Amino acid sequence: MSNAALDALCRRIEDWERRVRDRPVSPRMSDETLRARLDRYDFVRPRALEEMVVDIADLLEQANMHTTHPRYFGLFNPGVKRAGVVADTLAAAYNPQVGARWHAPATGDIEQRTLDHLRKRIGYPAGETSASFTTGGSEANLVGVLAGLSRACPRHADEGLAGIRPVFYASDQAHDSFVKIAHITGLGRRAFRRVRSDARRRLDVEDLRRAIARDRAAGLAPFLVVATVGTTASGAIDPAAELADVCRAEGLWLHADAAWGGLALLSDALRPHVAGVELADSITWDAHKSLPVPMGAGMFFSRWPRHAEAAFAVTTAYIPDHDEVANYQRTIQWSRRSIGMKVFFTLAELGQAGVAAMIDHQAAMGRLLREELAAAGWRVTNDSPLPLVCFARDGVRADAVARAVCDEGVAWISDVRLADGNHWLRACITHHETSPEDVRLMVAAANRAARAARGA
């Protein structure tokens, strides 16, 4: 890469960090203009790299929603700190292959040291537990389901599902990745049982017990329960300790989907709200939802690594034989880039107190948002301790307000449609630099949109 291109890249990154707050959160460039700009790249005539840096950076600024904006109150897509950008650049430049430790010992040990630190935050014991980085929460959830299936049906890996009728359970608020997982694994979508949620939108434990009993009586084979630690729609936290009791009594695998809610594990103040997650047999946790690092950085933790190995272990003729269990032997991935380098850099730069302060700040901005909305006449409709706020106002359509706020460009929020028929607005603090002023600007934008919607 030329020095001119590197200099241009560094200038654009530094300039964007300074200017992002003053830009619209969701800028508008027409599809026609975007396509016309890209039509200049015909892959026939070569282009100067420095020129491309400037041109494509302009497109990224003018034709993308800006998840790195402090007033992006969105879908668990974080702002980023420079440590993660530097780490991803190093990973790209050195391009280590992290499918097996012997191929990249330094990178492999950096990732494992990072995962071991986070394992301690979960409360998992040292020793037999294992952890690996994944592309994201969906992949980690898939590994959890397959590990649970390997435990319940040891012959599944070789013989498939013939003669087996496994089913698994999650609340009606759980992430829809489990619908895809039921399909991908060959279990079938009907094998994924949605359990009713309670008034706080947490999995109803008694309804789960009834569902398990019904399925057993029908000749089915329950094998796994999902505890959602921070639902996407409303931030609800399933009662993990109670679910662990049910799973022990029934002989089921408990998988905790803490993809976003895992951020509470980094704060001593929030940690009690997710008590019991350490009892799960496996856990999904997304670093890119908890920390200011570039996407994606999912993680999978398990108390029983042999079950994930049973699902993924293979013997190959072309990979050197080493006395270790490599990443490719316990995940769906083969070759992969360093996912964990940016997590390592971020944790090391901030230190434990700095990470906790950042998470606690986001939680404080969530509490402020609740207060400001209530003071402005909105009805706050969820009670999560996590920095996600749902709200509504009688006589105002949530989707119309969300669309108007986003079109104005001052902030970005969304509307959410729940299984019980409620339709709310949703705002999540995803940026480590969201300020009280940012919160108030968003509430003011929502107020303007609500007035306009009522007057329409």
pLDDT of 341 over the 60 cut? yes
Query: Over pLDDT 70: what percentage of the chain?
Result: 96
Residue bearing the bigger pLDDT, 320 or 99: 99
Q: For 40-62, how does the pLDDT look when each residue is reduced to its tens digit (9 = 90+)?
A: 999 999 999 999 999 999 999 99
Instruction: Give the pLDDT band of residue 319 (cuts 50, 70, 90).
Output: low
Tokens read off for 115 = 């995962």
User: Are the CB atoms for 427 and 369 separated by under 8 Å?
Assistant: yes
| Adjacency order of strands within the sheet including 130-134 | 130-134, 298-302, 282-286, 253-257, 221-228, 166-171, 192-195
- Give the pLDDT confidence score for residue 160 in this predicted structure: 78
The CA-CA-CA angle for residues 287, 348, 279, to 5°, reads: 45
Mean pLDDT value across the chain: 92
SS3 197: strand
Q: How many helices (H) and strands (E) does the chain have?
A: 15, 11
Residues sharing a CB contact under 8 Å with residue 17, sequence separation 6 or more, in sequence order: 82
Question: Which residues lie across from 145 on neighbouring strands?
Answer: none
CA distances (Å), 62 to each of 24, 73, 404, in order?
A: 9, 19, 19
Contacts 24+ apart (CB under 8 A), 49-54: 49/1, 49/2, 49/4, 49/5, 50/2, 50/4, 50/5, 50/8, 52/5, 53/5, 53/8, 53/9, 53/12, 54/8, 54/12
Q: Among 173-187, 314-328, 330-344, 434-448, which stretch is predicted with the lowest mean pLDDT? A: 314-328
Q: What is the pLDDT of residues 75-107, one digit of tens each?
A: 999 899 999 999 999 999 998 888 777 677 888
Q: For 403-446, write each residue's pLDDT tens digit.
A: 999 999 999 999 999 888 899 999 999 999 999 999 999 999 99
pLDDT band at 455 (very low <50, low <70, confident <90, very high): low
Residue range 229-255, pLDDT digits in tens: 999 999 999 999 999 999 999 999 999
Higher pLDDT, 161 or 428: 428
pLDDT bucket at 278, cuts 50 / 70 / 90: very high
Cβ contact 382:201 at 8 Å: yes
> Distance between CA 333 and CA 56 in Å, rounded?
30
pLDDT at 329: 67
pLDDT at 186 over 80: yes
CB-hemisphere CA count at 13 Å for 446?
A: 34
Higher pLDDT, 359 or 78: 359
pLDDT above 90: percentage of residues in the chain = 78
Q: Is the pLDDT of residue 376 over 60?
A: yes
User: What pLDDT score was predicted for residue 197?
Assistant: 94
pLDDT above 60 for 266: yes
Judge contact between 208 and 246, C-beta under 8 A: yes
Section 345-364 average pLDDT: 97
Tell me: pLDDT of 333 over 60: yes
| Rounded Cα–Cα distance for residues 202 and 12 (Å) | 44
CA dist., res. 371 & res. 72, Å (int): 19
Ramachandran bin of 199, using left for φ above 0, alpha for ψ from -120 to 50, beta for the remaining angles: alpha
CA angle 121-280-381, nearest 5°? 80
CA 304 to chain centre: 23
Q: Which of 30-34, 315-319, 381-385, 420-424 has the weakest average pLDDT?
A: 315-319
Question: Which comes out higher in pLDDT, residue 65 or 312?
Answer: 65
Mean pLDDT along residues 207-214: 98
pLDDT reading at 339 higher than 60: yes
Closest C-alpha to 438, from 448, 427, 449: 427
Q: What is the mean pLDDT of residues 67-82?
A: 93
pLDDT of res. 325:
61
Separation of alpha carbons 260 and 233, rounded Å? 11
Average confidence (pLDDT) over 171-178: 94
**What pLDDT shows up at residue 308?**
80
Q: What is the pLDDT of residue 306?
A: 83
